[in-house]
Every structure is written in C-alpha cells, then in structure tokens.
Amino acid sequence: MAAEKIFLVGMMGSGKSYWTKKIAKWIKSAGYDLDHLIEMNEEKTISEIFAEDGEEQFRKMEAKILRWFKEKKKYVLATGGGTPCFQDNMAWMKKEGIVIWLDESVEVIVKRLIDEKAHRPLIANLNEEELTKFIQGKLIERHSFYSQANYRLSSDQITDTKLKQLISQHE
C-alpha cells in the first residue's frame, strides 16, 4: 500500500485542511478538501446545504464526491469530520489508500473553532461550554469510526516529523 492516496479524518478543527496542504507538498501531489469540493459542486456553502437540503442529502453528496477519487492516482484529502461515519465511507477510504486519524485534544479543537463557528452549521450557535460538550459528544459518537483508521495520531504526535515518518513507510 503506497502512500499515494492519503485520507485525513478527525473532528472539525483537528487540522485536517492544514496538514493536507503540507503533506501534498511533501509528496508532490494535489491536496483537496472534501467540504470545499462539495461547495464548488453544489454552488452552495455547507451551511446552506444543511439548511436547505438537510444532513442526509449532504451525506449523499459527500459520499458521491468522495468516490470521484477512485480514478485519481495520487492525492491527500481532508475529509469532513463526519465523513467516515456515513455511507460506508471509512471502508471505502481504507480500500483505496491510507487513513490517518488526527486525534487532537478537545481543548485545542474548541480553541480553534471558537472564532470560526459561523462557517460551521453544527456549532454556529454554541457558546464555549456548549461547544466543548458538543465536541466531546461527537468524539464519543464517532470514535468507533475514527478508530478504524490505519493510523491514529494524538495531539503530541501530530507533527511534521511524525507524519513524514508515517508516510515514508508507504513509499
């Protein structure tokens, strides 16, 4: 299994988009953000899709666009926080490439998300305490999916060195 197809999973705010850009440079490939691709394809924001079409419809769009990557040869993809939990997406990603769970701490996630809540439909109206409880609850809910990833990196392991080391094992 070569590290030619890399999927980053984890909670919103765990750094998936940030690390996708860095890893793409390291392996000289394209880096994609699944939510961004959905927005481009639908010509709506994620918030608008949730509000107008509902989460179920969003999850169908997400799975469809995820599977476009079957034809691509080499890439890094930042998935949405819920992507692995629906439509058998985790099994599909594992079959296609390697899946890395960025398991960032709740405290760090809350700190990162507090200023960008407006862009995230699931947390837009939560205060810091509610956001903390929401993130804790989602982590519990999604743990069985995230834990199926090929690799799990906790807060102190999410570094350039560790990610490069992990990816080089698959070259």
Domain count, the chain: 1
Confirm whether 26 is domain-assigned.
yes
Confirm whether 170 is domain-assigned.
no
Confirm whether 171 is domain-assigned.
no
Decide: residue 22, CB within 10 A, 0-12 exposed, 13-18 middle, 19+ buried: middle
Does the pLDDT value for residue 120 go beyond 60?
A: yes
1-15, 57-71, 90-104, 154-168: segment of lowest average pLDDT: 1-15
Range of the structural domain that residue 63 is part of: 5-165
* Residues in Cβ contact with 56 at an 8 Å cutoff, skipping those fewer than 6 apart: none
- Tokens read off for 142: 């999604």
Instruction: Please indicate, yes or no, whether the overall pTM of this predicted structure exceeds 0.85.
Output: yes
Does the pLDDT value for residue 3 go beyond 90?
A: no
Q: What percent of the chain has pLDDT over 90?
A: 85
Read off the pLDDT of each residue in 133-141 and give the average, rounded to a whole number: 96
Residue 118: what pLDDT?
Answer: 76
Average pLDDT, the chain: 94
Render pLDDT for 30-53 as a digit per residue (tens, 0 to 9).
999 999 999 999 999 988 998 899
Supply the CATH number for residue 121's domain. Answer: 3.40.50.300
